[in-house]
Chain A
């Protein structure tokens, strides 16, 4: 086998990549970044609670982030912070509509059907903001308690404000910033990178 020296740029990138991997997975760096980039805040009374979509499987099961947002929204309703809950989340490729699955669950859990608004058309956060603003114009009022994952909140908040709504952030924890397991830290890092890419794309596209 012919011996060739390792590619220097690849070795340099490898040092960078492995150092980043070790720092993100095996140190508290990811948690510190999450606390800085995805701050938590206290909710306050509003005209409606808007629960953003986060996906459901073809078998009708809500994804873990979807369930966390849903529970977060219902808890705010139970605390009497708003009279209505707008449940969002589409169906993909003819699959079950996330917003409808959530509504069925909410009724099963004792939330009055009259307090629920089902909006299952929003495919992106930007689209959800436009649809929520339309619904709020119909319902009356413009102050909403916005429920989504903490890393997603800054982008979602900007979009909802651009759609003309007054936003009270009510972020939910989807991946704990205090996680000590390396795989949980990597999952958090993945969410942060994903959100950073989404923010970059939205800025380039002129949505933010």
Chain B
């Protein structure tokens, strides 16, 4: 069986189970799912934006550091696989901050 179909099938199955469990045991309304999906898309978009920003900043920083220090730093450092994860964390914090209304204090 194709790996992609298998994985997508598993995720679809657990999503359906979670949907029914959430409605039955947590009393969530189906209508809220559309809003939640929009929040997910917003988060994904913010993560993409932060990733591109991090990539551009990293690229510029490497070129500046090369000039200033004379030491060689590979541009490939910016394409490390953990950078998208860090960008997603930035996106989540920004999204929650915005949801809180940008308020300070406890």
Contacts and interface: CB of A to CB of B under 8 A. Distances in A.
A14 B44 CA distance: 5
Interface in A172-193: 180-182, 190, 193
B3 A194 contact: no
B44 A180 contact: no
Contact of A2 (B46, B59, B99): B99
Contacts of A109: none
A194 B81 CA distance: 11
Contact of A198 (B2, B46, B75, B101): B75
B67 interface: no
B39 A6 contact: yes
Interface string A1-40: 1111011011111111110000001110000000000000
Tell me the dominant secondary structure on chain A's binding face: helix
B25 interface: no
Interface string B43-54: 111111100000
Contact of B38 (A6, A13, A123, A201): A6
B39 to A, nearest CB: 6
A2 B99 CA distance: 6
B3 A6 contact: no
B24 interface: no
B7 interface: yes
Interface of A: 1-4, 6-7, 9-18, 25-27, 92, 123, 180-182, 190, 193-194, 197-198, 201
Most buried by A among B2, B41, B98: B41
Contacts of B98: 4, 7
Contact of B48 (A13, A92, A197, A201): A13
A11 B81 CA distance: 24
Given A4-B99, A13-B48, A18 B41 contact: yes
Interface string B69-85: 00010111001010000
Contacts of A182: 3-4, 7
19 contacts: A4-B101, A6-B41, A10-B41, A10-B45, A11-B38, A14-B41, A14-B43, A16-B48, A17-B48, A18-B41, A26-B8, A27-B4, A92-B74, A180-B2, A182-B3, A194-B79, A197-B59, A198-B75, A201-B59
Given A6-B38, A180-B2, A13 B45 contact: yes
Most buried by B among A4, A6, A12, A26: A6
A125 B59 CA distance: 17
Given A194-B76, A194-B79, A198-B75, A1 B99 contact: yes
B40 interface: yes
Contacts of B99: 1-4
